[in-house]
Amino acid sequence: MNLARYLLSAVLAFLLGGCSAQEPYMKQSVTYLHLLTKTPFFTRLDKSQLQWVIDHSTEWEACAGMEVSNRRDASDHIWILLDGGWQIEQGGQVFKAGHADPAKWYGGPYAKLLPDDSRLVTNQHSYVMRIGRVDFEAMLQRGFNFTGHLQQGRDFYSAKR
């Protein structure tokens, strides 16, 4: 009976587009250029660069409590917080961040900065972007201006190790 109730709750949450209080999930979402231009990580990009980001990434809607990534898979993708909030849990501590904070990104080429027990968890209904490491490195090679944001994050993650 409990399994049937859980499945029904999950199906209803998926169909209605809301988050289930019983089981957090992520579902693919659409990235809109006009919203991406207002996201702090991307404000220094021009329209063609923003479109390139959209074409080479995936946006996800995530319920509160969803593990987005962890140290074991962090080097495969860089995650960017678009809206909402998340927290980095590591070493028995919790570091909360919003989309304008230094910890607005996680992983990618900088995964080595994360301790083995690090994990990334949404702490409210959020929208997150996953960019494959190869695509992100291509963005850097193309001159996409993430320098300040990446340095803030590197400083944050280095201090929290």
- Quote the pTM value: 0.86
Hey, how many other C-beta atoms are within 10 angstroms of the C-beta on 151? 11
Structural domain boundaries, residue 142 = 25-160
Residues 60-101 pLDDT 10s: 999 999 999 999 999 999 999 999 999 999 999 999 999 999
Q: Rounded to an integer, what distance in angstroms lies between the CA atom of residue 63 and that of residue 27?
A: 9
Task: For residue 2, tell me if it sits in a domain.
Answer: no
List the CATH number of the domain containing 128: 2.60.120.10
> Which contiguous run of DSSP H or E holds residue 67?
strand 67-70
Residues 97-150 pLDDT 10s: 999 999 999 999 999 999 999 999 999 999 999 999 999 999 999 999 999 999
Task: For residue 103, tell me if it sits in a domain.
Answer: yes
Task: For residue 20, tell me if it sits in a domain.
Answer: no
